[in-house]
Amino acid sequence: MTANPLLEIRNLTRRFGGLEAAADVSFRVETNAIVALIGPNGAGKTTVFNVVTGIYPPSEGDIVFCDSSVAGLRSDDICRLGIARTFQNIRLFAGMTVLENVLVGRHTRTGSTLGDALINSRRHRREEEESRERARHLLRFVGVPGLEDELASNLPYGLQRRLEIARALASEPKLILLDEPAAGLTPTEKSGLRELVLTMKEDGHTILLIEHCMKFVMGLSDHIVVLDHGRKISEGNPAAVRNDPAVIEAYLGVATEQAAS
């Protein structure tokens, strides 16, 4: 491997009291790849996401993004550097419209101040127009067209998931983290989402996603990292991971460990 990876997680550990939610996890995300982070409930997948996006700092280890460490930075700084995310339990701005939600995503790519807004300066007008145009484009791209002025909370569940992706894309991230984007979707919606993720890759995006459902990630990912009880138990291309005995054991369990998850 010659070029440095876009994201490298080095020996990441995150403890909550006595619980090691993530223990000594290391993996890399190459540019323009789709990497899936899988594992049973409570494996520490979301913990890894939360540490990478600065919701809490790592207890140990380092996170290197674009050749510099982002470990322990605040969420908003990490977003500015180019990591955007969605949430497992959708976190839209419920009282704002669909368009406004995406416009919030433009925050780091715009800079007009309160003064600019007050006098309706050229910069303010240019940025607003540009952002609105981009936001509308993104809404079409993710498949939520024609609902701009609807309140986000009024959208059906499947579209809320897509809207969250549009908001994340609005910040023009170098890396986008999707936390269980397929959770709760119908089979039809799932395959639609899969198409969307593939199109995002074609457009040059790099995607790290969390998923429960093995079937969903298998044909989609370039690389899969498997976590169980906070530790990485396997890693590799989909075919290799599927046949790894450690993975099969974690998912199906052995007789004595059935109560674990």
Residue numbers at the binding site for another protein (CB under 8 A): 53-55, 74-76, 79-80, 84-85, 87, 91-96, 100, 103-108, 110-114, 116-118, 120, 124, 127-128, 151, 153, 167, 171
Least distance to another protein from the beta carbon of 236, Å? 30
Least spacing, CB of residue 135 vs another protein, in Å: 11
Look at residue 78 and give its three-state secondary structure.
Answer: helix
Pairing of strands 175-179, 83-85: parallel
Do residues 29 and 6 lie in contact, with contact meaning Cβ atoms separated by under 8 Å?
Answer: yes
Q: Name the residue nearer to another protein (CB basis): 130 or 249.
A: 130
Q: Phi and psi for 71 in degrees, rounded to 5? A: -60, 130
- Tell me how far apart the alpha carbons of residues 41 and 54 are, in angstroms, rounded to a whole number: 22
CA atoms within 13 A of residue 139's CA, in its CB half-sphere: 24
- CA–CA dist 228, 241 (Å, integer): 13
> Based on CB atoms, which residue is closest to another protein, 26 or 97?
97
Nearest approach in angstroms of CB 35 to another protein is: 19
Closest to another protein by CB, 160 vs 234, is 160
In whole angstroms, how close is the CB of 134 to another protein at the nearest point? 14
CB of 107 to another protein, least distance (A): 5
The residue with tokens 């990497």 is 35
Rank residues 76 and 257 by Cβ distance to another protein and give the closer one. Answer: 76
Question: Minimum Å distance from CB 242 to another protein?
Answer: 32
Output 148 or 222, the one with its CB closest to another protein.
148
Q: Both ends of the chain: CA-CA distance in Å?
A: 37
Q: In 3-state terms, what secondary structure has residue 226?
A: strand
Q: Name the residue among 45, 9, 24 with its Cα closest to residue 217.
A: 45
Q: Ramachandran region of residue 40, left (φ > 0), alpha (ψ -120 to 50) or beta?
A: beta
Q: Give the nearer residue to another protein in terms of CB position, either 180 or 235.
A: 180
Pairing of strands 206-211, 34-38: parallel
Minimum distance, C-beta of residue 27 to another protein, in the bound complex (Å)? 21
Residue type (1 letter), 169: L
Nearer to another protein, 79 or 185 (CB): 79
